[in-house]
A and B are shown apart, each in its own frame.
Chain A
């Protein structure tokens, strides 16, 4: 049928055959997670061999916990990156979110759940502000969020010191709602005799939801489109500005969830915490196959990126190496992942 319509010359048929042969390799390569998955296997095998303690169930639980604390943020950050933007304020926003909940509840002696709710509103408003500034000014999100990064970092310290006279918030451990909120945000669950932090499950849930949004909803289509070619997207009626603002708010939501974990895991919040973490989230997303230029990537990939991050982070400890080298490995992996991504994109964008 198609042959009858298309030019049925032998040359075309030969071209089709070539395409069919290549399409298997290309289909594999076109999975954004592929590079990360290979990397995860390599890192896992490597630490299994060099660190005896690495393969124990408790160690694995610790690795997953480390992976989840960064992985939760990597979900929001990866969606934002697929949408073509950065958020450098993501790291300190977690601290801001935690501080808001802790300080407001303590100073006004409110039930901690009220603090949690206020923090939710404030953090999402911060994400909205990032998005609004980006959309209204048209400046690169790198600049906008660099500015909000510094402002939040300063405000975290300034407000905390002004309110408590200290660099950390007062302990909220004995306040109303602490135990119930702790159960939601920072409890340990017993899975087959191994204690696993609840953040691992929050993380997996977020990854699942984000994947569903990306691949099976209209908004997911828009996210890929605004990152890949915003002008084309606008031309066919995609609400580019709303999508971008929504993505910044998605990062803020993840920051709120991470912030709540901080509050209820440690009861006090160090106001200087979080600086530099934004790069770890970006590294997770990039290792997971998100393109820095946007339009391509996956939430599952970012989760694998976070898993690699967690394995490296804890694996170095189990191998009893000098943890000073951790960042060296991280940098090397980032370099490797970006090169793999580059190759993938070249293959995909090639014209026949």
Chain B
């Protein structure tokens, strides 16, 4: 499609847990400034896929390339060093700690004598969040006082600040209301516009379609479809996601039932 070297490229990647085939023959490209959506129902293999990309698991077949170089990650740290950061849905933040402490947790900026450079960290947190479009009055408030969507956004901003080139977002909108999901989607777009490659895992095609450039639909560990945005409509995506043929059959059934009901009513 494009001659640019993708940030992340999976080619025919598969993974077995003992005799269970969790993932088979999956290919995916993530380019800078693009959002690749991975869709699938529960048990489709989404988690296995991101665990491979994030370095938690190793793939058994196929190749995994980062910026054109084949890699085999030993740990999430390896992935992080190559600029691949993962934001997990429930492991994002420590609720009782101030926003700025959360932002720098694990990568604290220090001055002489091991003193924390509090001023720098407060300023940077405020500035970085502002760049993502979050205007916080007080970065000293516990992050638990922010909404679920904002918390995800802080975690995303943190990953971006610490040099992520590829962001893996594990169901960032799953536990959120419509409005908050919208907030997160806006930051996904922000991250894309800042030139990051984003892997956005979701089971909601309505969240994926507006922000995505590529769509990988998984079902029972196999690829059900891999499309760029111009190849697929929102309706196709939704029906693919829901199992395609199965959904059509369901629609027919429902239609005929409602017709019967309608006929009965008119009689």
Residues of A within 8 A of B105 (CB): 221-222, 225, 233, 236, 238
CA–CA, A185 and B66, complex, Å: 61
Q: Which residues of A sit under 8 angstroms from B142, Cβ to Cβ?
A: 30, 348-349
Q: Is B266 an interface residue (CB 8 A)?
A: no
User: Out of B95, B118, B148, B158, which one reaches A229, CB within 8 Å?
Assistant: B95
Chain B interface: which of A15-23, A38-46, A89-97, A330-338?
A15-23
In terms of DSSP, what is the predominant structure of the interface of chain B?
Answer: loop
Interface residues of B in 52-103 (CB under 8 A from A): 77, 88, 91-97, 101
Contact A352 B106 (CB under 8 A): no
- The docked-state distance in angstroms from the alpha carbon of A39 to that of B259 is 72
Judge whether B130 and A1 touch: CB under 8 Å.
yes
Report chain A residues within 8 Å CB of B95: 228-229, 295, 349
Q: Which one of B97, B118, B133 contacts A295 once the chains associate, using CB atoms below 8 Å?
A: B97
Q: A23-B141, A232-B91, A237-B107 are in contact. Are A217 and B116 (CB under 8 A)?
A: yes
Q: A217–B94 contact, CB under 8 A?
A: no
Of the listed stretches A2-10, A165-173, A249-257, A266-274, chain B binds: A2-10
Distance, CA A61 to CA B71, complexed state (A) = 67
Q: How far is the CB of A265 from chain B (nearest CB, A)?
A: 34
Taking CB atoms and an 8 Å cut-off, the chain A residues in 217-235 that contact chain B are 217-218, 220-222, 224-225, 228-229, 231-233, 235
- Give a binary string over B137-179; 1 marks a CB under 8 Å from any A CB, 0 the rest: 1100110111110000000001000000000000000000000
Known contacts A216-B115, A216-B116, A238-B106: does B93 contact A23 (CB below 8 Å)?
no
Which size bracket describes the interface of B in this complex?
20 to 34
Cβ-based interface call for A296 (8 A): yes
Q: Is the pair A351, B137 in contact by a Cβ cutoff of 8 Å?
A: no
* Contact, CB under 8 Å: B137 / A20: yes
Distance between Cα atoms of A280 and B92 in the complex (Å): 36
A107 at the interface (CB under 8 A from B): no
**Is B252 an interface position by the 8 A CB rule?**
no
Q: For the complex, is A350 an interface residue (Cβ under 8 Å from B)? A: yes
Once the chains bind, are A5 and B96 in contact (CB under 8 Å)? no
Residues of B within 8 A of A6 (CB): 133-135
Question: Which chain A residue lies CB-closest to B76?
Answer: A235
Chain B residue numbers with a CB within 8 Å of A238 are 105-106
Of A217, A224, A231, A349, the residue contacting B91 (CB under 8 A) is: A231
Are A350's CB and B145's CB within 8 A? yes
What residues on B are CB-neighbors of A216 within 8 Å?
A: 115-116, 118
Picked from B106, B118, B134, the residue with its CB within 8 Å of the CB of A236 is B106
Task: Please tell me if the beta carbons of A352 and B96 are within 8 angstroms of each other in the complex.
Answer: no
A5 touches B91 (CB 8 A): no
Asked whether, in the complex, the Cβ of A221 is within 8 Å of the Cβ of B96, the reply is no
Most buried by A among B106, B130, B144: B106
Among candidates A16, A221, A235, residue contacting B88 with C-beta atoms closer than 8 Å: A235
Residue pair B92, A232 in contact (C-beta under 8 Å)? yes
Pairwise interchain contact B137-A23, C-beta atoms closer than 8 A: yes
Give every chain B residue within 8 A of A225 (Cβ-Cβ): 94, 97, 101, 105-106
Report the minimum CB–CB distance from B179 to chain A (whole Å): 11
Q: Among A3, A217, A222, A349, which residue has its beta carbon within 8 angstroms of that of B96?
A: A349
The answer to whether A351 and B93 have CB atoms under 8 Å apart is no
Q: In chain A, residues 133-178, which have Cβ atoms closer than 8 Å to a Cβ of chain B?
A: none
B110 contacts A by Cβ under 8 Å: yes
Q: Which residue of B lies closest to A3 (CB)?
A: B135
**Nearest 7 interchain pairs by C-beta:** A2-B135, A236-B106, A237-B106, A228-B94, A229-B94, A218-B108, A235-B91
A-B contact pairs, 12 of them (CB 8 A): A5-B133, A6-B135, A216-B118, A221-B101, A225-B97, A225-B101, A236-B107, A236-B158, A237-B107, A238-B105, A350-B144, A352-B145
Contacts A216-B118, A221-B104 known; list 16 others, CB within 8 Å.
A2-B135, A5-B133, A217-B114, A217-B115, A218-B110, A221-B105, A221-B108, A225-B105, A229-B93, A235-B88, A237-B77, A296-B96, A348-B96, A349-B144, A349-B145, A352-B147
